């Protein structure tokens, strides 16, 4: 699949639920209103749409949320898509999670051919973790990570860079990841949804955020490439692979290979734009074959770049969608 700018699209991110057992301050407001369950894609609809995308050339799928593992039939979603990896139709099935339910799901993920996952964790400090997640327990996440590691799943920690909050947490996080064999990725905040915070005040570039780490250790760019937009460096002598996702300070849109399927069945061609096509309505009213037509429309509508910088400086409106609806 090629979009209107000649970019190869082979990666689909599926948000299976907008619900989460955390209320991270940069992601949600404290009192969220979630979608009625009747508006969510069913298990059958998710798998049928995913199969249609695989048939058109999607090679990698990431399951996200919200917190994907809070969905009751999530084990069935994972198992069905995992069969596509086993058959060779899909190269990779991955997951982004907050880690709280990994003790329960780690063995099932491994058995379903999930070889690596991303775990969102912005600090190791229990008090700061509880503050940023509005009540989460970092010990629960650490226990889940260990369970996934023991199941043979490779872990990458996603750490959102927040000015004045967790920059001092970077060194302990890097050393924790080094000790346990995990990768670490630093992610700049993105202006999505009203979360009750001043985006300009909380934003910090990834380069500025990692300055304390580089003051102590050396960094060498490496050619490693994952499915997403991160660029990587080796932090020595830690032996840590560090990724940077920099949507605002160093735009990566030229190489975008992704589409996003939301909780309610919409395909968003870009996280930073509102343009979308509605697969749920089409599938329910016309049948699964409607996906083919709408997929071609989506590829033509995919924009060249996001508008996050304009949204951050106030020259464009902040998107009303929260991250938990579109998927991380």
* pLDDT (0 to 100) of residue 247: 75
pTM of the entire predicted model = 0.89
Which domains does the chain possess? Answer: 11-326 (3.20.20.70)
Burial of residue 284 (CB within 10 Å: 0-12, 13-18, 19+) is: middle
C-alpha span between 140 and 260 (Å, rounded): 29
**Binding-site residues for GTP, please?**
13, 62, 96, 156, 258-260
Q: Are the C-beta atoms of residues 160 and 139 closer than 8 Å to each other?
A: no
What is the layout of strands, in order, in the sheet containing 276-278? Answer: 218-222, 231-236, 240-245, 183-188, 154-161, 116-120, 92-97, 60-64, 11-15, 258-261, 266-268, 276-278
C-alpha span between 144 and 149 (Å, rounded): 9
C-alpha span between 237 and 217 (Å, rounded): 7
* pLDDT (0 to 100) of residue 314: 53
* pLDDT (0 to 100) of residue 254: 78
Those residues of the chain that have pLDDT short of 50 are 193-195, 199-201, 309-313, 315
Q: Are the C-beta atoms of residues 65 and 234 closer than 8 Å to each other?
A: no
**Binding-site residues for S-adenosyl-L-methionine, please?**
26, 66, 120, 190
Could you report the per-residue pLDDT of 95-138, keeping only the tens digit for each? 999 999 999 999 999 999 999 999 999 999 999 999 999 999 99
**Binding-site residues, please?**
13, 20, 24, 26-27, 62, 66, 96, 120, 156, 190, 253, 256, 258-260, 270
Q: What is the 3-state secondary structure (H, E, C) of 176-222?
A: HHHHHCCEEEEEECCCECCCCCCHHHHCCCHHHHCHHHHHHCEEEEE
């Amino acid at each position: 699949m090629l979009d209107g700018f000649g970019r190869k699209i082979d990666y689909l991110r599926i948000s299976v639920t907008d619900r989460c057992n955390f209320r991270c301050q940069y992601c949600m407001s404290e009192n969220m209103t979630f979608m009625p369950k009747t508006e969510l894609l069913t298990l059958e609809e998710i798998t049928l749409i995913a199969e249609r995308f695989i048939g058109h050339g999607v090679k990698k799928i990431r399951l996200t949320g919200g917190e994907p593992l809070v969905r009751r039939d999530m084990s069935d979603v994972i198992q069905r898509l995992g069969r596509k990896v086993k058959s060779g139709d899909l190269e990779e099935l991955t997951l982004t999670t907050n880690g709280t339910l990994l003790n329960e799901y780690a063995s099932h993920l491994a058995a379903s051919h999930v070889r690596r996952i991303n775990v969102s964790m912005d600090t190791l400090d229990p008090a700061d973790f509880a503050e940023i997640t509005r009540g989460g327990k970092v010990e629960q996440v650490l226990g889940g990570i260990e369970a996934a590691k023991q199941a043979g799943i490779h872990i990458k920690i996603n750490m959102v860079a927040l000015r004045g909050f967790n920059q001092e947490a970077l060194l302990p996080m890097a050393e924790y990841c080094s000790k346990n064999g995990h990768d670490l990725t630093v992610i700049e905040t993105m202006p999505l949804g009203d979360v009750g915070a001043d985006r300009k005040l909380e934003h910090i570039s990834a380069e500025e955020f990692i300055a304390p780490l580089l003051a102590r250790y050396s960094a060498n760019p490496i050619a490693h490439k994952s499915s997403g937009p991160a660029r990587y460096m080796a932090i020595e002598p830690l032996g840590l692979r560090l990724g940077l996702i920099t949507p605002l300070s160093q735009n990566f849109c030229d190489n975008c290979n992704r589409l996003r399927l939301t909780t309610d069945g919409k395909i968003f061609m870009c996280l930073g734009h509102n343009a979308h096509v509605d697969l749920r309505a089409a599938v329910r009213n016309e049948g699964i074959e409607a996906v083919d037509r709408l997929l071609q429309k989506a590829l033509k509508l995919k924009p060249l770049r996001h508008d996050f910088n304009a949204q951050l400086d106030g020259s464009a409106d902040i998107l009303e969608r929260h991250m938990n609806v579109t998927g991380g």
